Structure 1
Amino acid sequence: MKVAIVGGGWAGIAAAVELADAGHDISVFEMAPQPGGRARSVAGNPDYDNGQHILIGAYRDSLALMRRLGVDPDAVLKRLPLALPYPGEPGLRLPAGSPLIAFARGVLAHRGWPLHARLGLLAAAGGWLARGFRCDARLSVAELCTGLPAAVKRDLVEPLCIAALNTPAPQASAQVFLRVLKDALFSGAGSADLLLPRRPLSELLAAPAAAWLGERLRLGRRVQMIETGWRVDGEAFDAVVLACTSVEAARLTADLAPAWSAIAQGLGFEPIVTVYLSSPGSALPAPMLALREGPDAPAQFVFDHGQLGGAPGRFAFVVSGAAAWVAHGGCAEAVLAQAQRELAWATPPVIDKVLTEKRATFACTPGLARPSAQIAPGLWAAGDYVDGPYPATLEGAVRSGLAAAQGIGIGANGAAKGSPTNTP
């Protein structure tokens, strides 16, 4: 089949590789001057990434895709056991071994929490496990964790929720959060490990994909129209994968599939702000530290690039779920003040660069209606926003791309091809 992939982010790359390896003739249309979507290095300045990204050991499809493109994950990612140290505090640390045993040992060894808090967390986790990590889809993370001790919510639940869902716990989906916990903490040895990029982000996937795709990648091409048949800006294809943003996908399907387009258009978004500070001669006690968020403390995490193969003395402070700060005009000065209060510096830190991604992820709220993967026979959507069990993560994007490619492949092997309908 001749297949068009509209969008060259991680979902589009996954779909393209899967389809090409199956023998299909593919073309990838990417509106930006480089592939990678929201997980890439800054155009023209590869020393900076378009925001700080973390992978975890459970991202098996993402890691497999990297290997298919000739990238050795062990060479470009620093693997660390899950730990949430805070400035001056060791925080929760999970030892190696069987997931259930490692979690119990890590929690019981956390001397920063009183014994009743540690036992309360283990009791709650046991209840989630017994219920198959399922709950009422209408619950928020805050409601799910109402009975947990305050220290556990402050030091574990809230930072994990904002890191994984990019949505504050009072507004975040408990069902999606539980799925993340299940796959990250309890699905196998090493699943909870942190995989921190120690090369520019584009080297993880975007640049190898560009080399692998060659002339099949059409950069600087924003698709204007998709017509039944399937025609992409007048060029005929047998099938199409919409691996662009939900906003672009809604625009391109407004006439083809209005009901699907309306669902995609109805998604809300949460921003992420990354504030890079420079302090020559300084270093953190660990490559990554968690920070306690507050009214005058925007950042939840900080990364030491000098310990991750980047420039020594450069630090990335991440502000997730940053809608309120963006609405107030930004948070760089507040992050600088937070850094000066909470961390020790060899030289006074200064603001180096600020990156704001206003539509970093969809707002992962309880009971959210997300658009389906198949829009019509021969027309599929791929992206971290597509209906599924995961929040807006790199792994969710890759899995959606693989699913779209496999759906098209099944259609090529016998399912009837046709024109789109108006049902999502």
Structure 2
Amino acid sequence: MDRDEDQLARPVKAAVVGAGWAGIAAAVALADAGHDVTVFEMAPQPGGRARSVAGTPDYDNGQHILIGAYRDSLALMRRLGVDPERVLKRLPLAMPYPGEPGLRLPPGPPLIAFTRGVLAHRGWPLSARLGLLIAAGGWLVSGFRCDAKLTVAQLCAGLPAAVLRDLVEPLCVAALNTPAAQASAQVFLRVLKDALFSGPGSADLLLPRRPLSELLAKPAAAWLGDRLRLGRRVQLIEPGWRVDGEAFDAVVLACSSVEAARLTASIATAWSASAQGLGFEPIITVYLHSPGSALPEAMLALRDGPDAPAQFVFDHGQLGGPPGRYAFVVSGAAPWVARGGCDEAVLAQAIRELRWATPPVIDRMLTEKRATFACTPALVRPSARIAPGLWAAGDYVDGPYPATLEGAVRAGMAAAQGAGADAAG
């Protein structure tokens, strides 16, 4: 073995700061490459923003959805011994509304399935269906690229009102957690490309039917063992690299952008300022309880408005959870956070729009004020590489995706590869 090969084969002592999905992905990738990994997590449990609520594990810290295109997330689950088919309910993409079938994609090759699904949508006039297909054809021809300064609303300004109301706006706020009038059209098109046109099953909805922590966090904790240090908020990172005085060859910052900015303020000021400059969008999840009730489907879309906060509702009784529990999701929830919450408004919306066997009551409301970064046009996101041997991993780092689980996992894998190569090189 020559010197270069010996350097590449040398095990690296790596620290991963944060045990959300990005940190778990980075830790597993580093360990699989033969490196010595230590994971620091400030919370008492791993999982980041995609986990069960501490103390009440049958509640999740918000409702999450995966899709069939999340191949790296699904592969990571399998690597940790989790069978996605057992813990996720796979459904063809559908956007049903109360009393309306909505858009539904049939099985088959993506282009054909999308065309068939749109043409079969009898809730839209033929002119609206053809208008969407013409627009989608234009996006396909352009390679799903557009001017980086465009908003989703500007990109789709020529689409019929029914298509904007029933598909574009709810899909945009669900995927980017940013209203269409402020959301990046470039990122939205990338989501459409991967979800609708990247292969059979890529657009399928994968709805958790087990508590979120069982999807990744708990299996990762068992797999990492004593390499995972919970309840440890890192206070200081010094060049070299030292984490609270402990020496490492490489460090992956897989914590939030706010924490990463704090930790790099004195060692990478420009990068820290970039991370600190990100804006955020909140998500509110309101859990209602109605014994004996059931929705017609596991997930329904809702039309939001000034007095109707939620865009989607999930029937946990159809997803392996407690019967009679419903999760109402309010994405892009900044106006409602400013008003102090929306539990009573969601309850009123539910009573107006859905049929109940027993009157629903508010179970609890969970607010994630920094659920995602605000995915706005021409946004300059922090780079993954901060300095040689120091990398950032998270759904906010520079890349083509919005703040999604898949984006976090891919960022973690990329940071692990980069940190390992830096330290061994």
TM-score exceeds 0.5: yes
Counterpart position of 1:421? none
In structure 2, give the amino acid aligned to 1:110. Answer: H
Moved over 4 A (4+): none
In structure 2, the residue corresponding to 1:169 is in which secondary structure? coil
Residue equivalent to 2:64: 53
Gaps of 5+ in 1: 415-424
- Count of equivalent residues: 414
1:201 aligns with 2:212: yes
**Match of 1:84, SS?**
strand
2 CA distance for matches of 1:280 and 1:115? 41
3-state SS, counterpart of residue 213 of structure 1? helix
Note if 1:62 corresponds to 2:73.
Answer: yes
* Aligned position for 1:5: 16
Name the residue aligned to 1:263.
274
Alignment of 1:79-90 (within 5 A): 79-90=90-101
Q: Name the counterpart of 2:232.
A: 221
Query: How far off its partner does 1:410 sit?
Result: 2.2
State the partner residue of 1:233: 244
SS in 2 for 1:284: coil
Deviations 1:124-169 (A, max 9, x none): 0000000000000000000000000000000000011000000000
Structure 1 match to 2:55: 44
Q: Which one of 331, 334, 349 corresponds to residue 342 of structure 2? A: 331
SS at 1:203 equivalent: helix
TM-score between the two structures when normalised by the length of structure 1: 0.97
Write the distance in 1 (CA, Å) between the matches of 2:27 and 2:216. Answer: 13
Rounded Cα–Cα distance in structure 1 between residues aligned with 2:53 and 2:340: 22
1:46 aligned counterpart, secondary structure:
strand
3-state SS of paired residue (1:78): strand
The answer to whether the aligner puts 1:189 opposite 2:221 as a matched pair is no
- Report the 3-state secondary structure (helix = DSSP H, G, I; strand = E; otherwise coil) of the residue aligned with 2:181: helix
Would the aligned equivalents of 2:250 and 2:423 in 1 still touch at CA under 8 Å? no
1:413 Cα offset (Å): 4.0
Question: Partners of 1:301 and 1:197 in 2: how far apart?
Answer: 15
Q: What whole-Å deviation, never above 9, does each CA across 1:378-402 have from its counterpart, x for those lacking one?
A: 0000000000000000000000000
Indicate yes or no: 2:121 matched with 1:134: no
Match of 2:129 among 83, 100, 118: 118
1:171 match? 182
Residues 1:318 and 2:329 are matched in the alignment? yes
Q: Does 1:390 align with 2:410?
A: no
Residue identity in the other structure for 1:222:
R
Task: Give the deviation of 1:311 after TM superposition.
Answer: 0.2
SS in 2 for 1:170: coil
CA offset digits 1:34-64 (Å, max 9, x no partner) = 0000000000111100000000000000000
Show the 5 A alignment for 1:146-165: 146-165=157-176
Percent identity, please. 86
Query: 5 Å matches for 1:315-394?
Result: 315-394=326-405
Picking from 146, 150, 155, the partner of 1:144 is 155
Q: Which residue of 2 aligns with 1:302?
A: 313
SS of residue in 2 equivalent to 1:185: helix
> Offset at 1:408?
1.7
Deviation at 1:411, TM superposition (A): 2.1
Query: 1:339, CA displacement in angstroms?
Result: 0.1
Matched, 1:244 2:255: yes
Give the alignment's TM-score, normalised by structure 2.
0.97
Measure how far apart 1:409 and its partner are: 2.4
Alignment-mate amino acid for residue 355 of structure 2: A
The one-letter code of the counterpart of 1:185 is L
The Cα RMSD (Å) is: 0.4
Q: Counterparts of 1:343 and 1:115 in 2: how far apart (Å)? A: 28
